[in-house]
Amino acid sequence: MTDWGKGLIGAAAASLVALVSHSITGEGYVAGLEADGQAALAQSAAGDGFTFAMQRDPLSRVALVDGPDDADARGAAEQALMAVPGISSVRWADADEIAQARAAAAGDAGEAGDAAGDAAARSPQVAGCQERLDAALDGKSIRFRSGSAYLSLDSLAITDSVAAVLGECGDVSVTVEGHTDARGSEAINRTMSQERADRVAAALVERGVAQGPVSAVGLGASQPVMEGTSAEANEANRRIVFTLGDADAPAGQGE
């Protein structure tokens, strides 16, 4: 098997780990897919009368759709949704199931807001562990080439250091945030950042960090550390950020 083929298999495995093992992980990502899907459906030739939501129970990349019983219109709706990067499949559902998915999404969004509001009240254990992790990184950051989620040997060495610190921290959770530069479309950047975060989260699990406290989220280009699209800014913004929290609650979403 070629290295390229192995890379594709590795990416798929990492994505599967993130989506199946860490349901917290994908909520923000799936919410983004839902927004992109709504826009794609509105701009398609499907016409009016379609309702849509991303499946939430279980959390997945499956699009739930209900609408007119017209083969051409349904075909156009399916085509529009499947063109959204990240949506894996389309399933026709009834209005009640879609309403339940939307209600679940609203509940998850409320819980995420509560968690963000509690970030400042993290336990001394978590705060101390975050300080040790930041000191161990000492300005180092996992970086990526443009358009790539490949983890270099240098990046894997940083992952080793992160896993070592987490192994000494006890009962804490870690959110792995993926970030991209500002070039390209928002949807592609979000997909790429999620894949990068998934890869790093999977690497942490391989190094003995328990799956339960590890989550991954792709934030695309929404939180740059340097504005603009210069070579320097692009390199700085393609990065991974580690944010710690209490093990029984989601970690925050960084700075």
**Tens-digit pLDDT profile for residues 83-138:** 988 788 888 988 888 888 888 777 655 444 444 444 445 678 888 899 999 888 88
Phi-psi region of 114 (alpha: psi -120 to 50; beta: other; left: phi over 0): alpha
For residue 174 the two structure tokens come to: 């870690």
Q: What is the pLDDT, as a whole number, of residue 246?
A: 83
**Tens-digit pLDDT profile for residues 8-67:** 444 444 444 443 333 333 567 778 788 888 888 888 888 778 888 888 777 678 889 988
Cα–chain center distance at 132? 25
What domains sit in the chain, N to C, each tagged with a CATH number? 25-117 (3.30.300), 122-246 (3.30.1330.60)
The answer to whether the predicted template modeling score (pTM) of the entire model surpasses 0.85 is: no
Distance CA 127, CA 122 (A): 7
3 state DSSP class of 178: strand
